[in-house]
Structure 1
Amino acid sequence: MTAHNVDDGGMTAQGKMMQEDTTAKAAEAGAKGAQTLMRALDILDQVIGGPVRAADLARTLGMSRTTTHRLAHALRSRDYLSATQDGFALGPKLLQLGALATEQADYVRLARPYMELLSERTGFCVFVGKREGDWSRHLERVTGRQRLRVSTAPGDRRPIAETGLGKALLLDDDDASLERLYRESKDGKLPAKQVATWITAMHAHQQRGMVLHESDLGDGVRSIAVPVRDAKGQVVVAISIASAAHYLTDDIIDGLAEQVRETATNVSAALGYQPR
């Protein structure tokens, strides 16, 4: 009979070595699998902006042409890539997933944690709203710590050119659209100079990528609003903070504006937006 060394747990030395070897091989296989997955994802990242030839993919990603072709054709076989005259492009599976993600996006659910953090840091009311044709609809509000609070409530609808949040939803509109919406918000004929001044102000908002709004309704409300973009770069909702002007003062508005911008950037990233 052959004798075997046995440890305190009852396993032979030979058995222990075999187990360690199996564990090491499994870990190595897992690492290789993760590396392969990351390389495949790198390929998908490269073709987001348009078709890319396999040779260019290999050079950009530092992979061999053989590996690049193998991974690209594997992705193509599952419809994550498609082959075009200009190289590999996004496939129907990804386009389908993108459409489903857009349809199923719950903007309030995604934005709420970021809104709560912004309100906690600043003490101000934070709003999220969307565009409904020529109107803006407030979807959700996180109440701040000020004694005097903005009365706007979730569900309220306003002419889109009338509020800071509404203006943020218009930052991609052209001048013709802006003029029409501004005139309609005032419900009457306006002097050409007044319209031109408003559009010039909107150009400044567009350049900043945010709206610094002074209400002209006589309610003394100030607001800061920034658009939120989806994976296509389209404005889908806007984030804003609003308060009485004696709370939202000139000496703090710049710092607050950056915090609102950061919040909108984080929500946009959660929706798949990547600035180019």
Structure 2
Amino acid sequence: MNDSTEEPSGASRGTQTLMRGLDLVEALRDEPLRVAELARTLGLSRTTTHRLAAALVERGYVAQAERGLLTLGPTLLQLGFTAHRRIDLVRVARSRMEALSADTGLCVFLGRRDGDHSLHLDRAAGRQRLEVSTRPGDRRPVARTGLGKALLFDERDDGLARLYRATGADDAAAIDRWVADMRADIARGHVIHDSVGNDGIRSIAAPIRDVSGDIVAAIGIATAAQYLTPDKVAAIGPQVAATARAISRDLGYADPDPSVPAASFSLAPSLP
């Protein structure tokens, strides 16, 4: 097998070697492989593949497993953990929050789960004069807000029922309806929530995942229900979900459908 049709210069040869090494590491992302299998996957000779693998094993980027298999090594685990620990969720999400706020004219919130509560981390103010009072640092029962409910998308039915009961609900039929409504939200990909009480706030929220695939935060918009009419909810809901997916990809999440962009369109409600 011929690895190249022409001999590259010194500088380009170094770049080529680096790229081949990275290709080898990425080829091991899903499963361990033998040198011969790697050579076929990469389109390289076995000699070149063996030489690259040996260098990567020496640096800990690749490890030797049983039966001649090669797998990802401990150095990658250490680097991945360090990178994950250094990610600042608020910093990563901020620009997309501001874009969503600019497009919709609404206040955008970012929060994470804190036990049985949601903890608000950041907000991007919209153009509206009517302002939702929630501030960074505020905590709410996780089952009582749109943002909190988006953090529960991976909960089982019994977990959802427990969290709703924690808000004071004790009617079995009401709890069952709430769990069924949550399942509808999960199937849709975003929450549409009307607050309990007299404040008349309507919110739309969606979960954010990180490289592990776990939900680590949620993003949402909120305003008076009269300004989020059904037609605007139908338009803004997918935009909130797309923004959450874009932030998830920024955090390393392997989106099963990365073709879905963070939608960008102006749909500012007419506010007093």
Same fold by TM-score, threshold 0.5 exceeded? Answer: yes
Task: From 173, 176, 201, give the equivalent of 1:221.
Answer: 201
Matched, 1:258 2:238: yes
**TM-score, scaled relative to structure 2:** 0.85
Matched, 1:153 2:135: yes
**Residue number in structure 2 paired with 1:29:** 10
Matched, 1:81 2:81: no
* One-letter code aligned to 1:259: Q
Q: What does 1:54-69 align with in structure 2 at a 5 Å threshold?
A: 54-69=35-50
Task: From 97, 120, 126, give the equivalent of 2:79.
Answer: 97
Task: From 166, 172, 178, give the equivalent of 2:160.
Answer: 178
Matched, 1:231 2:211: yes
Distance 1:120 1:130 in 2: 23
**Residue number in structure 2 paired with 1:199:** 179
Distance 1:159 1:204 in 2: 20
* One-letter code aligned to 2:73: G
**TM-score, scaled relative to structure 1:** 0.83
CA contact (8 A) 2:29 2:72 kept: yes
Change (3 A) 1:32 1:247: farther
Structure 1 position 169, deviation (Å):
0.9
Structure 1 position 147, deviation (Å):
1.8
Q: Who wins on radius of gyration, i.e. which is larger?
A: 1
SS at match of 1:197: helix
Distance 1:131 1:153 in 2: 15
Structure 1 position 28, deviation (Å):
3.3
**Residue number in structure 2 paired with 1:49:** 30
SS at match of 1:246: helix
Range with greater deviation from structure 2 (109-118 or 245-254): 245-254
**Residue number in structure 2 paired with 1:131:** 113
Distance 2:106 2:29 in 1: 38
Distance 2:181 2:45 in 1: 53
Change (3 A) 1:257 1:34: farther
Distance 2:242 2:12 in 1: 35
User: Which of the pair has the greater relative contact order for Cα pairs under 8 Å at 6+ separation?
Assistant: 2
Distance 1:82 1:174 in 2: 37
Distance 1:211 1:58 in 2: 47
Deviation string for 1:135-187 (max 9, x for gaps)?
Answer: 100000000011212111111000111111111111111112111111102x2
What CA RMSD, in Å, does the superposition of the two structures yield over aligned residues? 1.8
Distance 1:83 1:223 in 2: 51
Q: Unmatched 5+ residue regions in structure 1?
A: 1-26
SS at match of 2:128: coil
* One-letter code aligned to 1:116: E
Q: Unmatched 5+ residue regions in structure 2?
A: 1-7, 257-272
CA contact (8 A) 2:112 2:218 kept: yes
Distance 1:257 1:44 in 2: 38
**Residue number in structure 1 paired with 2:262:** none
Structure 1 position 73, deviation (Å):
2.1
Distance 1:44 1:241 in 2: 40
SS at match of 1:127: strand
State the aligned residue count: 248
Deviation string for 1:81-113 (max 9, x for gaps)?
Answer: 112126222211111112222222211111111
Distance 1:206 1:216 in 2: 20
Deviation string for 1:202-257 (max 9, x for gaps)?
Answer: 11222233222222233211111111111111111111111111222211223212
Distance 1:248 1:59 in 2: 55
Range with greater deviation from structure 2 (121-130 or 99-108): 99-108
Paired-residue identity, %: 52
Change (3 A) 1:52 1:153: same
Distance 1:40 1:255 in 2: 45
Change (3 A) 1:73 1:145: same
